[in-house]
């Protein structure tokens, strides 16, 4: 029996190898490696795909968040609303800017930011919010946007797990002032290394992001903005992303199919699925909830099926930032119950069935 991995990037790439190899070779021969024509081409293609005016390539998804915050002049003394169950990337960006995260709890059935907690946190007048579309499912973004209306709080969307997710005709990342993406290799749109982008409809913000990603330059060697740094998307990654972008929707559809098969096929009293999102959500990580998670993991492992936990430690409980004052009961409850099952486009039908059968065979008397 071959092992079912949590993700298999090699197998994913194998399906697109000729296109990717030719993109890499052409770029290598071009002699241009950083912020060249492939980056511009990808920025246009990705902006077009998202239906937005501007996309600016940056070094990775965490930089995208940080640069987006800096473009809003967020800095020391500012509070940025966010959740604590999304892997710590937003927290890292907020703290790097010198600002303070204002953590809000999540909804148990969706695992996304809680609308009630968001409303309450608005009373503390945060300066900005980073809303993560976690696991590929859209946060209740239209509600949040209308609740934030009339406040001075700018809303940034973290779409690192939601490439291609849509609400009606609008793409994730186009509701707030900016949308931030990661192209880390495991993402729904992945490069062969680090990469990221910020999208926006605001030309002023787009120019600011372009300057901040390159030392604060207005023109070469002319620094007109403070807070700039080096965070550029390179040509090789842009070429790979351009080659992979046309398959994104098809791959997202396959992820949805697998998630649906799990949802219909897994029938076990201890395994719960989060609420199903709209049909235009995408699946990045397939996360279930199980009160007996440790035993389920051991059982899956005995069937040669990998699982993982996204994420094992909420941000406010990380040793570097531990703060006893913060209470997020739902976030903390979920952290002991969540379990990620394998779900990626290159999975075969029989692998999907094996996961379903293994879950259904999780012995109740073992607990
Ligand atoms: C929700 C979320 N935000 C941000 C990031 C950060 O992306 P990167 O790893 O490219 O910095 C990730 C990726 O790991 C993520 O999953």
Query: pTM for the whole thing?
Result: 0.97
Cα 128 from Cα 89, distance rounded (Å): 16
Which pLDDT does position 367 carry in this prediction? 63
- Counting every residue written for the chain, the total comes to 367
338: closest CA among 85, 136, 137? 85
177: closest CA among 147, 197, 198, 195? 198
Q: How much is the mean pLDDT over the chain? A: 96
Q: Which residue among 9, 60, 63, 89 has the greatest number of ligand 1 atoms within 8 angstroms of its CB, and so is best to mutate?
A: 89
Which pLDDT does position 270 carry in this prediction? 97
User: In this structure, how many other beta carbons lie within 10 angstroms of the beta carbon of residue 212?
Assistant: 25
Tell the residue number behind the tokens 């990717």, with chain if given: 20
**Burial 253-277, CB ≥16 within 10 A → b, else e:** ebbbbbbebbeeebeeebbeebeeb
Which pLDDT does position 1 carry in this prediction? 82
DSSP 8-state secondary structure symbol assigned to residue 317: G
Distance 64 CA to ligand 1 centre (A): 9
Q: How confident is the model at residue 119 (pLDDT cuts 50, 70, 90)?
A: very high
pLDDT at 157 over 80: yes
Tell me the CA end-to-end span of the chain in Å, nearest whole number: 26
Cα 130 from Cα 132, distance rounded (Å): 6
The residues lining ligand 1, judged by C-beta closer than 6 Å to any ligand atom, are 60-62, 86-87, 89, 132, 158, 160-161, 182, 184, 194, 196
Write out pLDDT tens, residues 184-235: 999 999 999 999 999 999 999 999 999 999 999 999 999 999 999 999 999 9
- Looking at the CA of residue 182, tell me the nearest atom of ligand 1: 10
- Looking at the CA of residue 184, tell me the nearest atom of ligand 1: 10
Write out pLDDT tens, residues 61-97: 999 999 999 999 999 999 999 999 999 999 999 999 9
Walk across the sheet containing 196-200 and list its strands: 54-58, 196-200, 178-182, 154-158, 128-132, 79-83, 100-104
- In 97-234, which ranges are continuous DSSP H helix? 115-122, 141-148, 203-212
Q: How confident is the model at residue 323 (pLDDT cuts 50, 70, 90)?
A: low
Which pLDDT does position 324 carry in this prediction? 64
Distance 240 CA to ligand 1 centre (A): 19
Write out pLDDT tens, residues 236-263: 999 999 999 999 999 999 999 999 999 9
Distance 181 CA to ligand 1 centre (A): 8
Q: How confident is the model at residue 366 (pLDDT cuts 50, 70, 90)?
A: low
Domains, the chain, ranges and CATH? 9-104+111-246 (3.40.640.10), 247-366 (3.90.1150.10)
Please name every residue paired with 276 in a beta bridge, in sequence order, or none if there are none.
none
Which pLDDT does position 59 carry in this prediction? 98
Cα 119 from Cα 112, distance rounded (Å): 14
Write out pLDDT tens, residues 23-46: 999 999 999 999 999 999 999 999
More confident residue, 49 or 276: 49
| SS3 call for 63 | helix
């Amino acid at each position: 029996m071959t092992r079912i991995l949590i993700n298999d990037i090699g197998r994913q790439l194998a399906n697109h190898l000729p296109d990717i190899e030719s993109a890499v070779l052409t770029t290598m021969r071009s002699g241009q490696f950083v912020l060249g024509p492939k980056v511009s081409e990808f920025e246009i293609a990705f902006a077009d795909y998202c239906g937005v005016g501007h996309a600016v390539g940056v070094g990775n998804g965490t930089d995208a968040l940080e640069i987006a915050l800096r473009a809003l002049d967020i800095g020391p003394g500012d509070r940025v609303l966010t959740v604590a169950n999304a892997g710590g990337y937003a927290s890292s960006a907020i703290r790097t800017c010198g600002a303070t995260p204002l953590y809000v709890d999540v909804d148990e059935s969706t695992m996304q930011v809680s609308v009630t907690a968001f409303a309450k946190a608005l009373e503390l007048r945060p300066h900005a919010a980073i809303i993560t579309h976690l696991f590929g499912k859209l946060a209740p973004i239209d509600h949040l946007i209308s609740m934030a209306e009339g406040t001075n709080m700018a809303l940034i969307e973290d779409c690192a797990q939601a490439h291609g997710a849509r609400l009606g005709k609008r793409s994730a990342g186009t509701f707030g002032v900016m949308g931030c993406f990661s192209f880390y290799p495991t993402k729904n749109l992945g490069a062969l290394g680090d990469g990221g982008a910020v999208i926006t409809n605001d030309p002023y913000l787009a120019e600011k992001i372009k300057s901040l990603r390159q030392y604060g330059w207005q023109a070469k060697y002319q620094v007109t903005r403070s807070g700039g740094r080096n965070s550029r998307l390179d040509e090789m990654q842009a070429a790979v992303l351009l080659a992979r972008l046309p398959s994104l929707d098809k791959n997202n559809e396959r992820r949805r199919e697998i998630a649906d098969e799990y949802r219909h096929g897994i029938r076990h009293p201890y395994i719960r699925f989060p609420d199903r999102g709209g049909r235009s959500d995408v699946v990045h990580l397939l996360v279930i909830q199980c009160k007996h998670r440790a035993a389920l993991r051991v059982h899956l492992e005995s069937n040669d099926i990998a699982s993982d936990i996204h994420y094992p430690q909420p941000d406010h409980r990380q040793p570097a930032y531990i703060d006893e004052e913060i209470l997020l009961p739902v976030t903390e409850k979920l952290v002991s119950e969540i379990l990620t099952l394998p779900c990626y486009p290159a999975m075969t039908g029989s692998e999907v069935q094996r996961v379903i059968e293994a879950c259904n065979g999780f012995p109740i008397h073992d607990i």
